[in-house]
Structure 1
Amino acid sequence: MIDYVKGRVVHWDVEYIVVDVRDIGYQIYTPNPYAFAKTSEAVTVYTHHHVREDATLLFGFETREEQNMFRKLLEVSGIGPRVALGILAGGKPEAVAAAIRQENIAFLTKLPGIGKKTAQRMILDLKDKLEALTGGFGLTADGLAFDNPSIPPELLEGGVAWREAKEGLAALGYTTAELDRAWHAMKNSVQADESVDALMKRALQQLFKG
Protein backbone atom coordinates (compact mmCIF):
# COMPACT_ATOMS: atom_id res chain seq x y z
CA MET A 1 0.00 0.00 0.00
CA ILE A 2 1.38 3.41 -0.97
CA ASP A 3 0.18 5.80 1.74
CA TYR A 4 1.79 8.99 0.47
CA VAL A 5 4.16 10.30 -2.17
CA LYS A 6 6.54 13.19 -1.64
CA GLY A 7 8.19 15.01 -4.51
CA ARG A 8 7.89 17.84 -7.03
CA VAL A 9 4.83 18.19 -9.24
CA VAL A 10 6.23 18.25 -12.77
CA HIS A 11 2.97 18.08 -14.70
CA TRP A 12 -0.74 18.53 -14.11
CA ASP A 13 -3.80 17.91 -16.24
CA VAL A 14 -7.56 18.21 -15.69
CA GLU A 15 -7.68 14.84 -13.89
CA TYR A 16 -4.22 14.08 -12.54
CA ILE A 17 -0.79 15.29 -11.54
CA VAL A 18 2.63 13.73 -12.09
CA VAL A 19 4.95 13.76 -9.08
CA ASP A 20 8.67 13.25 -9.62
CA VAL A 21 10.14 11.11 -6.84
CA ARG A 22 13.84 10.43 -7.41
CA ASP A 23 13.45 10.51 -11.19
CA ILE A 24 10.32 8.34 -11.21
CA GLY A 25 7.08 10.04 -12.24
CA TYR A 26 3.96 8.91 -10.39
CA GLN A 27 0.64 9.67 -12.13
CA ILE A 28 -1.86 10.49 -9.40
CA TYR A 29 -5.56 11.21 -9.96
CA THR A 30 -6.79 13.95 -7.64
CA PRO A 31 -9.98 15.99 -7.04
CA ASN A 32 -8.26 19.28 -7.90
CA PRO A 33 -4.96 18.94 -9.79
CA TYR A 34 -4.53 22.71 -9.95
CA ALA A 35 -4.30 22.94 -6.16
CA PHE A 36 -0.81 21.40 -6.48
CA ALA A 37 0.32 24.09 -8.92
CA LYS A 38 0.80 26.58 -6.08
CA THR A 39 4.44 25.71 -5.46
CA SER A 40 7.50 24.43 -7.28
CA GLU A 41 8.81 22.84 -4.08
CA ALA A 42 8.29 19.28 -2.93
CA VAL A 43 4.74 18.42 -1.86
CA THR A 44 3.27 15.53 0.09
CA VAL A 45 0.34 13.83 -1.63
CA TYR A 46 -1.66 11.43 0.56
CA THR A 47 -2.61 8.52 -1.64
CA HIS A 48 -4.91 5.57 -2.04
CA HIS A 49 -3.37 2.71 -4.00
CA HIS A 50 -6.13 1.06 -6.03
CA VAL A 51 -5.46 -2.25 -7.74
CA ARG A 52 -7.84 -3.91 -10.18
CA GLU A 53 -7.46 -6.60 -12.85
CA ASP A 54 -6.63 -4.22 -15.69
CA ALA A 55 -4.90 -1.33 -13.91
CA THR A 56 -2.99 -0.12 -10.89
CA LEU A 57 -4.00 3.46 -10.01
CA LEU A 58 -3.00 6.08 -7.48
CA PHE A 59 -5.54 8.59 -6.16
CA GLY A 60 -4.10 11.51 -4.23
CA PHE A 61 -5.17 14.23 -1.82
CA GLU A 62 -3.85 17.35 -0.13
CA THR A 63 -4.93 16.25 3.37
CA ARG A 64 -5.44 13.16 5.49
CA GLU A 65 -9.10 14.19 5.87
CA GLU A 66 -9.64 13.91 2.11
CA GLN A 67 -7.81 10.59 2.04
CA ASN A 68 -9.92 9.21 4.90
CA MET A 69 -13.18 10.41 3.37
CA PHE A 70 -12.25 8.85 0.02
CA ARG A 71 -11.68 5.50 1.70
CA LYS A 72 -14.94 5.77 3.62
CA LEU A 73 -16.84 6.52 0.41
CA LEU A 74 -15.41 3.37 -1.19
CA GLU A 75 -17.18 1.35 1.52
CA VAL A 76 -20.55 2.41 0.08
CA SER A 77 -22.08 0.03 -2.44
CA GLY A 78 -22.19 1.65 -5.87
CA ILE A 79 -19.38 4.14 -5.24
CA GLY A 80 -16.11 3.42 -6.98
CA PRO A 81 -12.88 5.44 -7.02
CA ARG A 82 -13.94 7.75 -9.87
CA VAL A 83 -17.25 8.63 -8.23
CA ALA A 84 -15.57 9.11 -4.84
CA LEU A 85 -13.05 11.44 -6.50
CA GLY A 86 -15.88 13.40 -8.09
CA ILE A 87 -17.58 13.77 -4.71
CA LEU A 88 -14.45 15.31 -3.22
CA ALA A 89 -14.10 17.59 -6.24
CA GLY A 90 -17.61 18.86 -5.48
CA GLY A 91 -17.30 19.30 -1.71
CA LYS A 92 -14.80 19.40 1.13
CA PRO A 93 -14.71 16.29 3.39
CA GLU A 94 -16.30 18.17 6.29
CA ALA A 95 -19.13 19.42 4.06
CA VAL A 96 -19.84 15.92 2.72
CA ALA A 97 -19.63 14.45 6.22
CA ALA A 98 -21.97 17.10 7.62
CA ALA A 99 -24.49 16.41 4.83
CA ILE A 100 -24.39 12.68 5.57
CA ARG A 101 -24.84 13.16 9.32
CA GLN A 102 -27.67 15.64 8.74
CA GLU A 103 -29.26 13.28 6.17
CA ASN A 104 -29.19 16.13 3.67
CA ILE A 105 -30.14 14.24 0.52
CA ALA A 106 -30.69 17.48 -1.41
CA PHE A 107 -27.01 18.41 -0.97
CA LEU A 108 -25.70 14.89 -1.61
CA THR A 109 -27.59 14.50 -4.89
CA LYS A 110 -25.93 17.67 -6.18
CA LEU A 111 -22.56 15.92 -6.01
CA PRO A 112 -21.26 14.43 -9.29
CA GLY A 113 -22.49 10.88 -9.91
CA ILE A 114 -24.79 10.71 -6.88
CA GLY A 115 -28.49 9.90 -7.28
CA LYS A 116 -31.10 9.61 -4.57
CA LYS A 117 -30.57 5.88 -3.93
CA THR A 118 -26.80 6.28 -3.63
CA ALA A 119 -27.27 9.26 -1.31
CA GLN A 120 -29.51 7.14 0.90
CA ARG A 121 -26.89 4.37 0.97
CA MET A 122 -24.22 6.91 1.92
CA ILE A 123 -26.33 8.03 4.87
CA LEU A 124 -27.15 4.46 5.94
CA ASP A 125 -23.56 3.18 5.67
CA LEU A 126 -21.60 6.21 6.90
CA LYS A 127 -23.75 8.33 9.20
CA ASP A 128 -22.26 6.88 12.39
CA LYS A 129 -18.68 6.68 11.08
CA LEU A 130 -17.91 10.33 10.32
CA GLU A 131 -18.06 12.21 13.62
CA ALA A 132 -14.32 12.82 13.62
CA LEU A 133 -14.59 14.52 10.24
CA THR A 134 -17.54 16.76 11.03
CA GLY A 135 -16.71 17.80 14.58
CA GLY A 136 -18.82 20.85 15.33
CA PHE A 137 -19.34 21.83 11.71
CA GLY A 138 -22.67 22.90 10.32
CA LEU A 139 -23.81 22.98 6.71
CA THR A 140 -24.85 26.15 4.93
CA ALA A 141 -27.26 26.36 2.03
CA ASP A 142 -24.46 26.19 -0.55
CA GLY A 143 -22.82 23.16 1.05
CA LEU A 144 -19.99 24.89 2.89
CA ALA A 145 -19.15 23.47 6.27
CA PHE A 146 -17.95 25.88 8.92
CA ASP A 147 -17.79 26.19 12.71
CA ASN A 148 -18.17 29.95 12.96
CA PRO A 149 -21.82 30.98 12.47
CA SER A 150 -20.82 34.65 12.46
CA ILE A 151 -19.29 34.37 8.98
CA PRO A 152 -21.65 36.23 6.65
CA PRO A 153 -22.88 34.27 3.58
CA GLU A 154 -21.46 36.85 1.16
CA LEU A 155 -17.93 35.92 2.23
CA LEU A 156 -18.63 32.37 1.10
CA GLU A 157 -19.83 33.35 -2.38
CA GLY A 158 -19.22 30.71 -4.99
CA GLY A 159 -18.94 27.78 -2.60
CA VAL A 160 -16.12 25.33 -2.07
CA ALA A 161 -15.68 24.39 -5.74
CA TRP A 162 -15.21 28.01 -6.86
CA ARG A 163 -12.76 28.74 -4.04
CA GLU A 164 -10.61 25.79 -5.14
CA ALA A 165 -10.94 26.76 -8.80
CA LYS A 166 -9.90 30.30 -7.90
CA GLU A 167 -6.82 29.00 -6.07
CA GLY A 168 -5.83 26.93 -9.09
CA LEU A 169 -6.24 29.86 -11.47
CA ALA A 170 -4.32 32.17 -9.15
CA ALA A 171 -1.46 29.66 -9.22
CA LEU A 172 -1.45 30.03 -13.00
CA GLY A 173 -0.83 33.78 -12.64
CA TYR A 174 -4.28 35.36 -12.69
CA THR A 175 -4.94 38.18 -10.23
CA THR A 176 -7.73 38.33 -7.67
CA ALA A 177 -9.31 41.24 -9.55
CA GLU A 178 -9.34 39.26 -12.83
CA LEU A 179 -10.84 36.22 -11.14
CA ASP A 180 -13.50 38.26 -9.36
CA ARG A 181 -14.52 39.82 -12.69
CA ALA A 182 -14.71 36.35 -14.27
CA TRP A 183 -16.88 35.09 -11.40
CA HIS A 184 -19.33 37.97 -11.60
CA ALA A 185 -19.64 37.45 -15.36
CA MET A 186 -20.43 33.75 -15.05
CA LYS A 187 -22.04 33.23 -11.63
CA ASN A 188 -25.66 33.53 -12.80
CA SER A 189 -25.25 30.58 -15.16
CA VAL A 190 -23.27 28.32 -12.79
CA GLN A 191 -25.02 25.14 -11.66
CA ALA A 192 -24.83 24.04 -8.02
CA ASP A 193 -23.19 20.69 -8.85
CA GLU A 194 -20.43 21.98 -11.15
CA SER A 195 -16.99 20.61 -10.40
CA VAL A 196 -13.76 22.52 -9.81
CA ASP A 197 -12.54 21.62 -13.30
CA ALA A 198 -15.78 22.82 -14.92
CA LEU A 199 -15.58 26.14 -13.07
CA MET A 200 -11.97 26.62 -14.07
CA LYS A 201 -12.87 26.07 -17.73
CA ARG A 202 -15.76 28.54 -17.47
CA ALA A 203 -13.52 31.14 -15.82
CA LEU A 204 -10.79 30.67 -18.42
CA GLN A 205 -13.35 31.31 -21.16
CA GLN A 206 -14.26 34.59 -19.46
CA LEU A 207 -10.62 35.52 -18.94
CA PHE A 208 -9.78 34.85 -22.59
CA LYS A 209 -12.58 37.22 -23.58
CA GLY A 210 -10.75 39.96 -21.67
Structure 2
Amino acid sequence: MYEFIKGSLEFVGPEYIVIENNGIGYQISTPNPFIFSSKIENNVIVYTYHYVREDVMALYGFETREEKRLFTKLLNVSGIGPKGALAILASGEVQQVVAAIENEDESFLVKFPGVGKKTARQMILDLKGKLQDIVPDYFPNLFNANQFTAQDIASNSAFEEAILALKALGYSDKEVKKITPELKKEQLSTDQYIKKALQRLLK
Protein backbone atom coordinates (compact mmCIF):
# COMPACT_ATOMS: atom_id res chain seq x y z
CA MET A 1 0.00 0.00 0.00
CA TYR A 2 2.78 2.44 0.93
CA GLU A 3 6.04 2.14 -1.04
CA PHE A 4 7.79 4.72 1.13
CA ILE A 5 7.16 7.68 3.40
CA LYS A 6 9.18 10.87 3.08
CA GLY A 7 9.09 13.49 5.80
CA SER A 8 10.69 15.04 8.85
CA LEU A 9 12.06 12.62 11.43
CA GLU A 10 10.47 13.73 14.72
CA PHE A 11 11.22 10.90 17.15
CA VAL A 12 13.53 7.92 17.60
CA GLY A 13 12.79 5.32 20.27
CA PRO A 14 13.84 1.75 21.11
CA GLU A 15 11.12 0.19 18.94
CA TYR A 16 10.06 2.75 16.36
CA ILE A 17 10.57 6.12 14.73
CA VAL A 18 8.02 8.83 13.95
CA ILE A 19 8.01 10.66 10.63
CA GLU A 20 5.85 13.75 10.16
CA ASN A 21 4.35 14.24 6.72
CA ASN A 22 1.66 16.87 6.01
CA GLY A 23 0.80 17.18 9.68
CA ILE A 24 0.50 13.43 10.29
CA GLY A 25 2.98 11.55 12.44
CA TYR A 26 3.61 8.03 11.15
CA GLN A 27 4.78 5.52 13.75
CA ILE A 28 7.12 3.12 11.94
CA SER A 29 8.77 0.06 13.49
CA THR A 30 12.29 -0.48 12.14
CA PRO A 31 15.01 -3.11 12.66
CA ASN A 32 17.27 -0.63 14.44
CA PRO A 33 15.60 2.75 15.07
CA PHE A 34 18.77 4.34 16.40
CA ILE A 35 20.50 4.28 13.02
CA PHE A 36 18.25 7.26 12.27
CA SER A 37 19.34 9.22 15.38
CA SER A 38 21.63 11.57 13.47
CA LYS A 39 18.74 12.59 11.18
CA ILE A 40 16.37 14.02 13.81
CA GLU A 41 14.39 16.97 12.37
CA ASN A 42 15.78 16.25 8.90
CA ASN A 43 13.85 14.86 5.95
CA VAL A 44 14.27 11.12 5.44
CA ILE A 45 12.86 8.45 3.16
CA VAL A 46 11.82 5.18 4.77
CA TYR A 47 10.68 2.23 2.63
CA THR A 48 7.57 0.87 4.29
CA TYR A 49 5.60 -2.35 4.57
CA HIS A 50 1.97 -2.06 5.69
CA TYR A 51 1.20 -5.11 7.80
CA VAL A 52 -2.49 -5.87 8.31
CA ARG A 53 -4.08 -8.71 10.25
CA GLU A 54 -7.40 -9.06 12.05
CA ASP A 55 -5.90 -7.98 15.36
CA VAL A 56 -3.08 -5.69 14.26
CA MET A 57 -2.23 -3.00 11.73
CA ALA A 58 1.32 -1.64 11.66
CA LEU A 59 3.91 0.09 9.51
CA TYR A 60 7.39 -1.38 9.24
CA GLY A 61 10.17 0.68 7.73
CA PHE A 62 13.60 0.15 6.21
CA GLU A 63 16.55 2.19 4.96
CA THR A 64 16.65 0.37 1.62
CA ARG A 65 14.34 -1.52 -0.71
CA GLU A 66 16.58 -4.56 -0.33
CA GLU A 67 15.94 -4.68 3.42
CA LYS A 68 12.22 -4.38 2.74
CA ARG A 69 12.33 -7.23 0.20
CA LEU A 70 14.13 -9.53 2.62
CA PHE A 71 11.66 -8.63 5.37
CA THR A 72 8.68 -9.58 3.18
CA LYS A 73 10.32 -12.86 2.20
CA LEU A 74 11.05 -13.71 5.83
CA LEU A 75 7.37 -13.19 6.64
CA ASN A 76 6.58 -16.08 4.30
CA VAL A 77 8.62 -18.49 6.43
CA SER A 78 6.57 -20.54 8.85
CA GLY A 79 7.45 -19.55 12.41
CA ILE A 80 8.66 -16.02 11.58
CA GLY A 81 6.42 -13.02 12.24
CA PRO A 82 7.13 -9.30 11.88
CA LYS A 83 9.01 -9.02 15.17
CA GLY A 84 11.17 -12.02 14.34
CA ALA A 85 11.93 -10.69 10.86
CA LEU A 86 12.86 -7.28 12.32
CA ALA A 87 15.17 -8.96 14.83
CA ILE A 88 16.96 -10.84 12.05
CA LEU A 89 17.48 -7.66 10.04
CA ALA A 90 18.64 -5.76 13.12
CA SER A 91 21.14 -8.42 14.11
CA GLY A 92 22.62 -9.19 10.71
CA GLU A 93 23.39 -7.44 7.45
CA VAL A 94 21.31 -8.37 4.41
CA GLN A 95 24.20 -10.01 2.56
CA GLN A 96 25.10 -12.10 5.62
CA VAL A 97 21.57 -13.43 5.95
CA VAL A 98 21.30 -14.21 2.24
CA ALA A 99 24.70 -15.92 2.20
CA ALA A 100 23.78 -18.04 5.23
CA ILE A 101 20.53 -19.17 3.59
CA GLU A 102 22.15 -19.95 0.23
CA ASN A 103 25.02 -21.82 1.90
CA GLU A 104 22.67 -23.63 4.32
CA ASP A 105 24.60 -22.26 7.27
CA GLU A 106 22.24 -23.21 10.10
CA SER A 107 24.86 -22.45 12.76
CA PHE A 108 24.84 -18.80 11.66
CA LEU A 109 21.06 -18.49 11.39
CA VAL A 110 20.38 -19.84 14.90
CA LYS A 111 22.36 -16.91 16.32
CA PHE A 112 19.43 -14.60 15.58
CA PRO A 113 16.91 -13.94 18.39
CA GLY A 114 14.05 -16.43 18.33
CA VAL A 115 15.57 -18.61 15.60
CA GLY A 116 16.11 -22.22 16.61
CA LYS A 117 17.27 -25.13 14.48
CA LYS A 118 13.77 -25.85 13.21
CA THR A 119 13.17 -22.27 12.09
CA ALA A 120 16.66 -22.00 10.58
CA ARG A 121 16.00 -25.12 8.53
CA GLN A 122 12.63 -23.75 7.46
CA MET A 123 14.28 -20.51 6.32
CA ILE A 124 16.64 -22.49 4.12
CA LEU A 125 13.87 -24.71 2.71
CA ASP A 126 11.56 -21.79 1.97
CA LEU A 127 14.03 -19.16 0.75
CA LYS A 128 17.10 -20.79 -0.78
CA GLY A 129 17.25 -19.87 -4.46
CA LYS A 130 14.54 -17.24 -4.08
CA LEU A 131 16.62 -14.23 -3.04
CA GLN A 132 18.16 -13.25 -6.38
CA ASP A 133 16.31 -9.94 -6.48
CA ILE A 134 18.10 -8.97 -3.27
CA VAL A 135 21.57 -10.40 -3.86
CA PRO A 136 22.76 -8.36 -6.90
CA ASP A 137 22.75 -5.12 -4.90
CA TYR A 138 24.20 -6.48 -1.69
CA PHE A 139 26.20 -9.59 -2.54
CA PRO A 140 26.93 -9.67 -6.27
CA ASN A 141 29.55 -12.43 -6.12
CA LEU A 142 27.53 -14.94 -4.15
CA PHE A 143 26.00 -16.67 -7.14
CA ASN A 144 29.18 -16.52 -9.22
CA ALA A 145 30.76 -18.81 -6.64
CA ASN A 146 27.89 -21.21 -7.14
CA GLN A 147 28.13 -21.05 -10.92
CA PHE A 148 25.06 -18.87 -11.48
CA THR A 149 25.17 -16.53 -14.47
CA ALA A 150 23.66 -13.08 -14.73
CA GLN A 151 21.11 -14.58 -17.12
CA ASP A 152 20.18 -17.23 -14.54
CA ILE A 153 19.66 -14.58 -11.88
CA ALA A 154 17.51 -12.42 -14.16
CA SER A 155 15.46 -15.43 -15.21
CA ASN A 156 14.91 -16.60 -11.64
CA SER A 157 13.85 -13.10 -10.64
CA ALA A 158 11.38 -13.01 -13.54
CA PHE A 159 10.06 -16.42 -12.49
CA GLU A 160 9.50 -15.26 -8.90
CA GLU A 161 7.69 -12.15 -10.13
CA ALA A 162 5.48 -14.28 -12.36
CA ILE A 163 4.57 -16.59 -9.47
CA LEU A 164 3.64 -13.60 -7.32
CA ALA A 165 1.49 -12.24 -10.14
CA LEU A 166 -0.33 -15.57 -10.53
CA LYS A 167 -1.08 -15.68 -6.81
CA ALA A 168 -2.30 -12.10 -6.97
CA LEU A 169 -4.72 -13.22 -9.69
CA GLY A 170 -6.18 -15.74 -7.24
CA TYR A 171 -4.48 -19.01 -8.15
CA SER A 172 -3.73 -21.24 -5.15
CA ASP A 173 -0.28 -22.51 -4.13
CA LYS A 174 -1.39 -26.00 -5.18
CA GLU A 175 -2.37 -24.86 -8.67
CA VAL A 176 0.84 -22.89 -9.13
CA LYS A 177 3.09 -25.69 -7.85
CA LYS A 178 1.53 -28.09 -10.35
CA ILE A 179 2.86 -26.10 -13.33
CA THR A 180 6.13 -24.89 -11.75
CA PRO A 181 8.38 -27.75 -13.01
CA GLU A 182 7.38 -27.09 -16.61
CA LEU A 183 7.88 -23.33 -16.31
CA LYS A 184 11.36 -23.72 -14.84
CA LYS A 185 12.59 -25.55 -17.94
CA GLU A 186 12.93 -22.26 -19.82
CA GLN A 187 14.49 -18.84 -19.26
CA LEU A 188 11.73 -16.34 -20.00
CA SER A 189 10.69 -12.81 -19.15
CA THR A 190 8.10 -12.23 -16.42
CA ASP A 191 5.41 -11.56 -19.00
CA GLN A 192 6.29 -14.72 -20.94
CA TYR A 193 6.22 -16.83 -17.77
CA ILE A 194 2.78 -15.48 -16.90
CA LYS A 195 1.38 -16.11 -20.40
CA LYS A 196 2.74 -19.65 -20.45
CA ALA A 197 1.43 -20.34 -16.94
CA LEU A 198 -2.04 -19.07 -17.83
CA GLN A 199 -2.11 -21.28 -20.90
CA ARG A 200 -1.45 -24.31 -18.70
CA LEU A 201 -3.79 -23.24 -15.91
CA LEU A 202 -6.68 -22.54 -18.27
CA LYS A 203 -6.50 -25.86 -20.05
Amino acid at match of 2:48: T
Aligned residue for 1:58, secondary structure, equals strand
> 2 CA distance for matches of 1:66 and 1:38?
20
> 2 CA distance for matches of 1:8 and 1:31?
19
**Residue 67, structure 1, aligned to residue 68, structure 2:** yes
**Residue 135, structure 1, aligned to residue 149, structure 2:** no
1:37 Cα offset (Å): 1.6
> 2 CA distance for matches of 1:113 and 1:135?
29
> 1 CA distance for matches of 2:103 and 2:64?
23
Aligned residue for 2:128, secondary structure, equals helix
**Residue 34, structure 1, aligned to residue 38, structure 2:** no
Deviations 1:136-156 (A, max 9, x none): 149xxxxxxxxxxxxxxxxxx
Deviations 1:27-63 (A, max 9, x none): 0000111111222321000011001112210000000
User: What stretches of structure 2 of length at least 5 have no aligned partner?
Assistant: 144-203
> 1 CA distance for matches of 2:20 and 2:12?
12
| Deviant stretches of 4+, over 6 Å | none
User: What stretches of structure 1 of length at least 5 have no aligned partner?
Assistant: 139-210
> 2 CA distance for matches of 1:129 and 1:95?
15
Aligned residue for 1:6, secondary structure, equals strand
Residues 1-210 of structure 1 aligned to structure 2 (within 5 Å): 1-39=1-39, 40-132=41-133, 133=135, 134-137=139-142
> 1 CA distance for matches of 2:90 and 2:16?
12
> 2 CA distance for matches of 1:122 and 1:95?
14
Q: Percent identity?
A: 53
Deviations 1:116-160 (A, max 9, x none): 00000100110011134242149xxxxxxxxxxxxxxxxxxxxxx
Aligned residue for 2:79, secondary structure, equals coil
Aligned residue for 1:117, secondary structure, equals helix
> 1 CA distance for matches of 2:86 and 2:103?
22
Aligned residue for 1:135, secondary structure, equals coil
> 1 CA distance for matches of 2:38 and 2:104?
35
**For this pair of structures, how many residues does the alignment match?**
138
Normalized against structure 2, the TM-score is what?
0.65
- Distance change (3 Å), C-alpha of 1:137 and 1:38: farther
> 2 CA distance for matches of 1:135 and 1:91?
18
> 1 CA distance for matches of 2:2 and 2:132?
26
> 2 CA distance for matches of 1:38 and 1:46?
18
